Copies of this chain bind each other. A is one copy, B any other.
């Protein structure tokens, strides 16, 4: 799969190293069952580089550096290239100063936020990453889209390969989840997921998809949506506002390639050795104690952030590699034909 992804990107003009970084990012998501952030999105990155909405070759540029901070111009490169550059820098700064805090502008969609934080965690650090995003979400009380779903991630290792891995958008759910319910023919979705085109809460997936939008985490004002709005704005402030990137409703619409994205992103690494000794042990104990809480429903054990992804990785490994819905085969073969690339090899197709 990585060979296929890399060849697709190189074919449209990506630097081969950038293409490999993207392949690693997308398989990270697919391995965890987050198909919305995996090869499913490859054709979008391909198109963006092909039409020069994303720059295929170059290096991000450090614009300012002071103490434990850096401000980076992403040079409109692939989000993963900017993300890895900033993450490397944040790790280096954290090892020197205890914290590394790097903010980029001029970036593009960086895929699964957790990818960068996982790289920090693998160095024994606490990793965080944040990005702004195309407007999809109606802030509390708004009758129009005003902000992206602005993902954040926070990841740290416990013991024996275990850990805590939060990777979430600030909307209650992703657009994709509403789409899935709609395609399944479901007439209602849970409350707190979305609003209609006037900003009124709705449980009709058609209304959300046709001119409506997502609700910030918490849903309506009475159920805490203003807190989700606040967190989404916080992410925007440390990304777009600190970075001097596009901000809020001024960010280009999703899949628009006539203007550059100019996304803002923030990468933070913290060295737990600067605080109380034994961080990883205490974190593991906290994780274990949380999982060990009496469940409300005996069939549904209490999980911590990262557990569903860990279970999916295990499933992928038991299957000897990446596992995809069979509908992917046709789409990927089409892309291979279009670009003149050798198709992916699938071991088994059910």
Which residues of A pack against B, CB within 8 Å? 64, 66-71, 96-99, 101, 103, 105, 126, 138-144, 146-147, 154, 156, 164, 166, 168, 172-173, 190-193, 195, 198-200, 217-219, 222-224, 226-231, 233-234, 236-238, 240-244, 247-250, 270-272, 274-279, 282-283, 285-286, 289-290, 293-297, 300-305
Q: Within the assembled complex, what's the spacing in Å between the Cα atoms of A296 and B193?
A: 16
B141 touches A301 (CB 8 A): yes
Q: In the complex, what residue of chain B is closest to A156 when comparing beta carbons?
A: B237
B144 touches A293 (CB 8 A): yes
Tell me how many chains of this kind the complex includes: 2
Which 7 A/B pairs are nearest by Cβ-Cβ distance? A244-B276, A199-B296, A67-B97, A69-B98, A69-B274, A67-B98, A192-B223
B237 touches A173 (CB 8 A): no
Residues of B within 8 A of A156 (CB): 237
Residues of B within 8 A of A222 (CB): 190
B164 touches A233 (CB 8 A): yes
A68 touches B67 (CB 8 A): yes
Residues of B within 8 A of A96 (CB): 67
Residues of B within 8 A of A289 (CB): 146, 247-250
A224 touches B293 (CB 8 A): no
B305 touches A242 (CB 8 A): no
Residues of B within 8 A of A238 (CB): 126, 270
- Chosen A-B contacts, 29 in total, with CB atoms closer than 8 Å, are A67-B97, A69-B270, A69-B275, A105-B276, A126-B237, A126-B238, A139-B302, A140-B303, A142-B293, A143-B297, A144-B294, A146-B290, A172-B223, A190-B222, A191-B191, A192-B219, A219-B224, A226-B305, A229-B305, A233-B286, A236-B286, A238-B270, A241-B282, A241-B286, A242-B276, A243-B275, A248-B286, A248-B289, A249-B293
A237 touches B71 (CB 8 A): no
B230 touches A276 (CB 8 A): no
Q: Within the assembled complex, what's the spacing in Å between the Cα atoms of A223 and B276?
A: 36
Q: Within the assembled complex, what's the spacing in Å between the Cα atoms of A228 and B270?
A: 22
A191 touches B223 (CB 8 A): yes
Q: A142-B302, A146-B290 are in contact. Are A272 and B242 (CB under 8 A)?
A: yes
| Residue among A71, A103, A173, A296 with max Cβ neighbours from chain B (10 Å) | A296
Minimum CB–CB distance from A325 to chain B (whole Å) comes to 23
Residues of B within 8 A of A126 (CB): 237-238, 242
Q: A294-B144, A295-B143 are in contact. Are A98 and B101 (CB under 8 A)?
A: yes
Residues of B within 8 A of A154 (CB): 230, 234, 237
Name the contact of A143 in the complex, choosing from B105, B236, B279, B296 (C-beta under 8 A). Answer: B296
A98 touches B66 (CB 8 A): yes
Residues of B within 8 A of A270 (CB): 69, 101, 238, 242
Given contacts A141-B302, A191-B223, A242-B270, 14 further A-B contacts (CB under 8 A): A70-B274, A141-B300, A142-B290, A166-B231, A172-B218, A172-B223, A172-B227, A217-B228, A218-B228, A219-B224, A230-B305, A233-B290, A236-B286, A243-B275
Name the contact of A223 in the complex, choosing from B68, B193, B249 (C-beta under 8 A). Answer: B193
Q: Within the assembled complex, what's the spacing in Å between the Cα atoms of A249 and B287?
A: 12
Q: Within the assembled complex, what's the spacing in Å between the Cα atoms of A166 and B227?
A: 8
Q: In the complex, what residue of chain B is closest to A102 when comparing beta carbons?
A: B275
A224 touches B279 (CB 8 A): no
B282 touches A230 (CB 8 A): no
